[in-house]
Chain A
Amino acid sequence: MQDSRKIDRELLTEIKRMHHQMPRWVVLLILIGVFAVLAYYTSSLLVILLLSGVLAYMLIAVINKVESYGIKRNVAVITLYLSMTVFFIVAEIILAPCLQDEVKNFYTRLPEFSKQLENVFSQGSSSDMQNYPLAEELIRKILNNAISPSQLLEKTLNLSEIFSQAASFLLAMILIPFFVFFILKDWPGMLKTVMSWIPPVYVETTVSALSEINILVGKYLRGLIIDCISIGIIATFGLWVLGINYPLSLGILSGAANVIPYLGPIMACAAACLIAFIQYNSIGVLINVLLLYTVIKLTDDLIIQPLTIGKSVRLHPMLLVITIIAGEKLFGVMGMILAVPIVTISQKVLSILFESHRQTAARKTLIIKDKGTPSNIPL
């Protein structure tokens, strides 16, 4: 007993000694490493927590607004939950039949579609395709090298995979509202507790980081929501005008996919092209769909995004692509969605920390120059 205590004490002294020897950035790097490993192994929980955070952030604005009318926070949160339940029930009644029809129709006709698609590529029966030998060759090559179309469609209907996804989906559906409820209710208390841990010297830097993040994330999320809804509406309308099947489902998919920069619009466009090609079996329609999505992307880049998200959140294209790929590798689709805001926030926090460090360093030099006595440096 005595021995173990002695060893413990020695270990503690050793750790303290090492801590004093190690530069701060090494400790920081080790901490980041440990956090990254932990994050990797608890990725699904982390994604649920992050999603809850994002959702809570969006709803906090509503709660704050209600609270500013002099209504208690708890009452505001419960009222919001009740009204959201009513909203979802109404949305289900209005939108669900329309969507259900489209989805049911798609699944019942799936075998027919895959057969059609395979026929097109195996026999080259389309007259249109022969007019575009280069495109035909290209599509054929891609499909032959990757996977045959029927397998591709069947793969999406793999039962065990759907079941495991449904289970984690169900867990998320229970956990997210649970987390969001408590974040919304207790946020001011949480913030106060965190602030009480922060030494007075770092208060202004912390508040500056919080304030900047709040403005940045608010702008990004609000912009993204407006952006997705606009894209969804334009895509639905465009596809409906072109006479493509399932315009509503494809429109919603296009809007939702838009949260993933670059890859999202490509995925949505590919889905629309596939449906259009199955339906009309002609390259002309395919070109129309491609044109539609190009116009949507240009409208998004040149008009909608500058008006909604603005330039403050823009990452360098190279960093953006690296971010999305890393996000996908670590946390899957959710990683791709959350990667951009997380990297943008980290970038902002780092720049605030560097700026604060630079200002402190500049001040220290100034004082040393002025008085020549570094002992006088106030914190």
Chain B
Amino acid sequence: MFKWALDTEKEHNLHILKDVQLFKGLNRKLLRKLLIDLVEKEYEAGEIIFSEGDVGKALYVILDGSVKIVKKTDSGEKVLAVLGPGSYFGELALINQSPRFASAITEEKANLLIMYKSYFDNLIKGNSAISSRVLLNLVSSLSNYIGKEHPVDEDAEEAEYQPGG
């Protein structure tokens, strides 16, 4: 590797970001731009990233570690999914600031990339190359929800949450 090239940590993150469904089809330059622009935060194991019912304002991409998605039910808490590096969650916040459907808790120490709604809005306005790709990916991921919007029983409710990965 050349001396002036990106350092190993950034290369690792870039590698993870390349496989994220939401950013599929973006070239390395655009992915690097996302890595530079977005805020990164490390969470300790067991920390609550957001709680069910919170007003959603940001999307999270897992760069390292794992996060579990938990929903409160009458019989207690139910783990809907455990997500690893390259997965994202909280994408509905980018569309509208609706309450979070479930809680997100780190299962082990995790490094997350946070995309805030206004950044996403600005991205859509300013960079057509990124926006058309990301919007298409977002729409295809959201299309999974269609038809399952009103769960009739608990099983259907569980099926409703299909986080991106």
Contact = CB atoms under 8 A, between A and B. Distances in A.
A323 B4 CA distance: 45
Contacts, number: 91
A207 B36 contact: no
A75 B41 contact: no
B114 A378 contact: no
Interface string A50-83: 0000000000000010011111100100000000
Interface string B105-138: 0000000001011110010000000000000000
Contact of A210 (B30, B39, B117): B39
A34 B37 CA distance: 33
Q: How large is the interface on A (under 10, 10 to 19, 20 to 34, 35 or more residues)?
A: 20 to 34
Contacts of B39: 191, 195, 207, 210
Interface stretch (B15-23, B50-58, B81-89, B141-149): B50-58
A211 interface: yes
A63 to B, nearest CB: 9
B122 A215 contact: yes
B42 interface: yes
Nearest to B33: A68
Nearest to A376: B72
Contact of B4 (A71, A188, A214, A363): A71
A204 interface: yes
Contacts of A167: none
- Scoring A210, A211, A215 by chain B CB atoms within 10 A of each residue's CB, the highest score goes to A211
A33 interface: no
A195 B49 CA distance: 13
B48 interface: yes
Contact of B3 (A68, A70, A72, A214): A72
A208 B116 contact: yes
A124 B25 CA distance: 77
Given A72-B6, A72-B7, A211-B118, A200 B42 contact: no
Interface centre among A64, A67, A200, A212, by most chain B C-beta atoms within 10 angstroms, is A200
A379 B116 contact: no
B57 A208 contact: yes
Contacts of A208: 57-58, 116-118
A71 B30 CA distance: 14
Interface string A188-206: 1001100110101101110
Contact of B41 (A72, A188, A196, A379): A196
B32 A70 contact: yes
A64 B36 contact: yes
Contact of B53 (A67, A72, A210, A367): A367
Given A68-B29, A72-B6, A378-B103, A200 B43 contact: yes
Given A204-B50, A363-B54, A378-B54, 13 more contacts: A64-B37, A67-B32, A70-B29, A71-B5, A72-B5, A195-B40, A195-B42, A203-B49, A208-B58, A211-B118, A215-B119, A378-B52, A378-B53
Chain A to chain B: the 6 pairs with minimum beta-carbon distance, closest first: A378-B51, A211-B116, A75-B4, A68-B32, A68-B33, A195-B41
16 contacts: A70-B28, A70-B29, A70-B32, A192-B42, A195-B40, A200-B49, A203-B114, A204-B114, A208-B117, A208-B118, A210-B116, A215-B119, A363-B99, A378-B48, A378-B53, A379-B51
